[in-house]
Amino acid sequence: LFSVCCSLIFRTLRMAIAGTLYGDPNGFRAKKIATAAEFANKKIKLETLDKMDRNWAFPPSELLFVTNEGNQLFDCNSIACYLANPFHGSGGGDQFHDSEVLQWINMADSKILAPILSWVIPCLSAESYNNVYVSEAKAESLDAMRWLNEQLLSKTFLVGERISVVDIILACNVLPAYQHVFDERVRKLYANVTRWFLTIINQPFFKKAIGNVPLCDKPAVFDSKKYEEFVKKSLTVERIAPKDNKDGAKVQSKAKAKQAEAPKKEVEVDVEEKVAESDKKDPFAAFPKGKFDMDGFKRVYSNEDTETKAIPYFWSHFDPDNYSIWFCEYKYPKELEKVFMSCNLITGMFQRLDKLRKNAFASVCLFGEDNNSTISGIWIWRGHQLAFELSEDWQIDYESYSWSKLDPKDEKIKSLVNEYLKWEGKMYRCRKRLEVGFCFVLKYIITPTGYQTRNGEFSPVSDPAMTMMLSVLPIIAERLSLKKAPETGITRLLDIGSGPTIHMAVVFRDKVDEIYLSDYLEQNCEQLRLWMQDRKPFDWRSVLGYIAQREGQATLSVEAMEVASRSKLRGVFHCDVFKPGVVDWPDYDGLGFDVVSSLFCLEFASNTVDDFTNALTNVVRLVKPGGYLILGGVLGESWCKFGGRLFSSYPLTEAQLFASLRQNGINPTDPTFTYYNHSDIFLVLAQPTQ
């Protein structure tokens, strides 16, 4: 009798309700939580959001779990861990195990779920289709799968020797891909992941919560008709009003209401036709072209002196009848905190406006310092109306700024425009110091004097990027074993995108016989030529001294280092990484180079990951068989501080970097491959496969 009672008590306790989950019962995240509950033999009550207590704050995730004690959780993974505790429960007794759990949970969402959803959702016609974004998401997803496939080569489960909630979380995260885009061919490519995934989804608790999971037969493809139907349905979706809505009425989100004001035309076209049509459609097509050569002005502004050449060119060619000038100012300066975050606001806006670039120019500046800054700038574009209203794709950021049209005939306005073009002056109502400027031109431009501080002295190693490169490059140079080419009897180095810097020339002065420097901007090339002629445009002593220390030659004369470097320098040339051959040579023997280097150049010049890969292809082709590639840059940032100045950058991920390297004959798992990464500043040393 005692054993029967104990059994009944245990069964009752086991099936007691652990809490209530408010959300969409059929939603992706709710099913993940339900699976975790089944795994832990716990019962939860599922309710829709409209059943929530009116006094509770509306959850940001549209998901809320309330325990029997009244405690609330709104993060999906946190709820799953609460129900099926993956930790040892020993008060931190096994720190490594618990850290491993956290590692996999974070990885499952940030590196795997995010790109998979960005790939799958548009293919299911539940989101507008942008081929560039979907392609990038697909590449990131497959890179993550390659990595995960290697991890699971010798593992049955992610943590330990038994299934844990970590396996459930990750299995639910990759489930959309296995259902909709991972066909049989892809599943075979990642056999270890597929084996693990099938093991998890065929567990009884998983089937009870989610049911049988049908695997993808044919990858989903965007359907414009389905998307239009989805948009119509989404316009009627309602959510519960927040608690300050006293009558409890249901409200629609402002974003959806805004869409409802301008219903889209129903046009049945397939995705390729839709993309082609959007590429051809020009929001400025109805405007007269006018006489102002926007590209001509951008070339002058990018390559000539601003005050003596670019500004006179602008005012002598500007067409006020068909073009307009606007002033913008960020509306919420009190919300600006860190300078780098404010910089990301500007560069992020520029990246999202890439299709506007052909018909517009801007100079936007950040003034001030951390927690005390403002953003303002001038814009020039075709037509006389606010350009952002011409396309929905351009309306993400502009409402965060106030806009006023300027009179180009007013001398005060001319002075204001000139100041924003030069990045110096009173800069209109702003009393804060100019921190950094950004240009919406062909690319972001920085003048050579940007490598110096305001008192005229170079700031050499005051930022992570400069410190990383100058610390590691001497080590790399020492490691290289270079053989003289039988055709020439010499070894040589080509640096691509040198800027007005001499780092590579100095570091490799004793390692190669000939050094060639190159840059896209003529003004940077000119500065290097001045240094080559010992006319010293900059004071490089602090940089040279730091390099000497890293080489173990702290007592070496910096003058001697410069002389040795100049003696190896054979020329400074114009380069364009998107052009086959890259460098404009007067004469080139085509034999390639023993060392080809490029630091903070390719991601700076690129707008997309395809741009980066194509540029890398052109650079790698200049490496001779058996030669070395040295590639440096920054990951995951739309800007990078180097030498005391900020540069815009394509926010390259590590997965994208490795994928681009693989496409160019460089395998990150090769024993000859060397990879440094410090605070997402990376440096690669590799020997490309010819």
**DSSP string for residues in 162-193:** S--HHHHHHHHHHHHHHHHT--HHHHHHTHHH
Determine the residue type at 626: G
- Label the pairing between strands 492-495 and 593-599: parallel
- With a pLDDT cut of 70, the percent of the chain lying above it is 77
Q: What is the pLDDT of residue 658?
A: 93
**pLDDT reading at 38 higher than 70:** yes
Q: Which of 27-41, 60-74, 384-398 has the lowest mean pLDDT?
A: 60-74
Closest to 607 (Cα-Cα) out of 443, 395, 392, 381: 443
With respect to CATH, is domain 2-83 assigned 3.40.30.10? yes
- Label the pairing between strands 372-382 and 64-67: unpaired
Top-level CATH class of 464-686?
Answer: alpha beta
Q: What is the pLDDT of residue 621?
A: 95
Q: What is the pLDDT of residues 282-298, one digit of tens each?
A: 788 888 889 999 888 88
Q: What is the pLDDT of residues 527-582, one digit of tens each?
A: 899 888 887 666 777 778 878 877 877 677 888 999 999 999 999 999 999 999 99
Q: Tell me the average pLDDT of the chain.
A: 78
CATH number of 95-210: 1.20.1050.10
- Name the DSSP letter for residue 377: E
Closest to 115 (Cα-Cα) out of 139, 141, 147: 141
Q: What is the pLDDT of residue 666?
A: 93
Structure tokens at 339: 């300078």
- Label the pairing between strands 64-67 and 72-73: antiparallel
Q: What is the pLDDT of residue 537?
A: 60
Q: What is the pTM of this model?
A: 0.41
Q: Which of 361-365, 587-591, 627-631, 647-651 has the lowest mean pLDDT?
A: 647-651
Report the C-alpha gap between 41 and 50 in whole angstroms: 27
Higher pLDDT residue, 476 or 177? 177
Could you tell me the residue ranges of all domains in the chain?
Answer: 2-83, 95-210, 224-263+270-280, 294-445, 464-686
Q: What is the pLDDT of residue 438?
A: 53
Task: State mean pLDDT over 64-91.
Answer: 75
Task: State mean pLDDT over 243-263.
Answer: 38
Q: What is the pLDDT of residue 235?
A: 41
Q: What is the pLDDT of residue 462?
A: 46
Higher pLDDT residue, 200 or 273? 200
Q: What is the pLDDT of residue 94?
A: 63
Task: State mean pLDDT over 222-232.
Answer: 78
Top-level CATH class of 294-445?
Answer: alpha beta
**pLDDT reading at 599 higher than 70:** yes
